[in-house]
Amino acid sequence: MARLLLLNGPNLNLLGTREPGLYGADTLDAIVSRCTVLAGELGHELVASQSNAEHELVEAVQKAKPQGIDFMILNPGAFTHTSISLRDAILGVGLPFIEVHLSNVHARAAFRRHSYFSDIAVGWIVGLGPLGYELALRAAAVRLAGTAPR
Ligand code: DQA
């Protein structure tokens, strides 16, 4: 059994009412509930956290290893495109992660096409809405079982 951290960045607490045409109608609570059930079905434990503050996300990553986290599912929100400190924190703790974006960041404004995380992620899932989190969880479970290509 592994422990996974589902970590969401700024404004993702607004899911459900935030630009539903782009991000879907599900609340973050609903997404976390579904992912928690799915993680259990896959034989793992899910811990979820969201913050609008960069330093809190950095601290969540720094604390992840001592808390027994083996893998992260990360949607850094707008920090995707700006946060060298969050990137450095992940590199610093050496935790594998999958990057998730609800919207297709490549089909939007040019500034959303660059991610400070994609080159250090195991993989990323974009544009599939809330389902992306569940797909990332399934991919993480395969990865943790040691059956996915590196
Ligand atoms: C997002 C994409 C980001 O560009 C944006 O700033 C977000 C949400 C997504 O999930 O599609 O806050 O990460």
What is the arithmetic mean of pLDDT over 80-91? 98
CA separation, residue 65 to residues 79, 92, 133, 149 (Å): 21, 11, 21, 23
Closest CA to ligand 1's atom 6:
78
Token reading at 107: 């089909």
**20-60: pLDDT as tens digits:** 999 999 999 999 999 999 999 999 999 999 999 999 999 99
Residue 110, exposed/middle/buried by CB under 10 A (0-12, 13-18, 19+)?
A: exposed
Question: Could you tell me the sign of the dihedral formed by the alpha carbons of 91, 46, 64, 143, in that order?
Answer: negative
- Residue whose C-alpha is closest to residue 34's, from 148, 121, 114, 132: 132
- Residue whose C-alpha is closest to residue 44's, from 75, 15, 68, 19: 68
Query: In this structure, how many other beta carbons lie within 10 angstroms of the beta carbon of residue 124?
Result: 19
| Ligand 1 site-directed mutation target among 75, 111, 131, 135, most atoms within 8 Å of CB | 75
pLDDT of the residue at 65: 93
For ligand 1, what atom is nearest to the CA of residue 76? 13
For ligand 1, what atom is nearest to the CA of residue 10? 12
pLDDT at residue 150 tops 70: no
Q: Which residues pair with 124 in a beta bridge?
A: 99
- Three-state DSSP state, 84: helix
Question: Ligand 1 mean position to 77 CA, how many Å?
Answer: 4
Per-residue pLDDT band at 147 (split at 50, 70, 90): confident
pLDDT of the residue at 129: 97
Query: In this structure, how many other beta carbons lie within 10 angstroms of the beta carbon of residue 113?
Result: 12
